[in-house]
Homo-oligomer: A and B are copies of this chain.
Amino acid sequence: MSKGFLVVISSPSGGGKTTLREEILKCEKDICYSVSYTTRLPRREEVPGKDYYFVSREKFLQLVKENRFIEWAEVHGHFYGTPRDFIEENIQKGKILLLDIDVQGARKIKECNLPSVFIFLIPPSWKELERRLLKRSTESEKEIKKRLKRAKEELSFYQDYDYLVVNRLIEEAIQDIRCIIRAEKCRRARKEKWIKQLISESS
């Protein structure tokens, strides 16, 4: 077994992260998803405890005070936080943890120096991003404009990421990310136990 690490996926809104995350978790049984806390309301299709832990602002701020988040941030007026215990315990166990997080959050994760891989999922074109946001009819026009403005800002964070995956066809993007994870398991630092074992056998 290789050592545990985080797979941090960020994407401008409408990038298609949710579908992609679900597909990856379905295919890869040794990967678990780190469920974040948020103070925003659930969308129609979201399941509490699976997509997010939905909590009140008071509860959230209490958890902040207790240092229970590895990172937290305010995005579009709502709080989002990544639970510390879950992450640390699972890395210790050698697990691969999928984190679906915005660019601010990813930057904070980066500062934690946990073993991590950073993937930026980008739309194939700006026109396509607009189209996808409009298609997702759960939000008002004002909200969509806000998201587009934010998407533009988010793109400028790309240098924080190890990999850029273009989400043209979702199946291709899923394959890219599955391959990135498989490749990362083969990184020298994560396989050192193997080679040391082999070297000791040869003596």
Contacts and interface: CB of A to CB of B under 8 A. Distances in A.
Contacts of A202: 126, 151-152, 155
Contact of A188 (B161, B166, B176): B161
Q: How large is the interface on A (under 10, 10 to 19, 20 to 34, 35 or more residues)?
A: 35 or more
Interface stretch (A50-58, A78-86, A99-107, A190-198): A190-198
Q: Is the interface of A mostly helix, strand, loop or mixed?
A: helix
A194 B164 contact: yes
Interface in A147-203: 151-152, 155-156, 158-159, 161-166, 175-176, 178-180, 182-184, 186-188, 191-192, 194-195, 198-199, 201-203
14 contacts: A126-B198, A126-B202, A151-B202, A152-B199, A155-B195, A155-B198, A155-B202, A158-B195, A163-B188, A164-B186, A165-B186, A176-B186, A179-B180, A182-B183
Given A122-B198, A152-B199, A155-B202, 15 more contacts: A120-B195, A122-B195, A126-B198, A126-B202, A151-B202, A155-B195, A162-B187, A164-B188, A164-B191, A164-B194, A164-B195, A178-B179, A179-B180, A180-B182, A182-B183
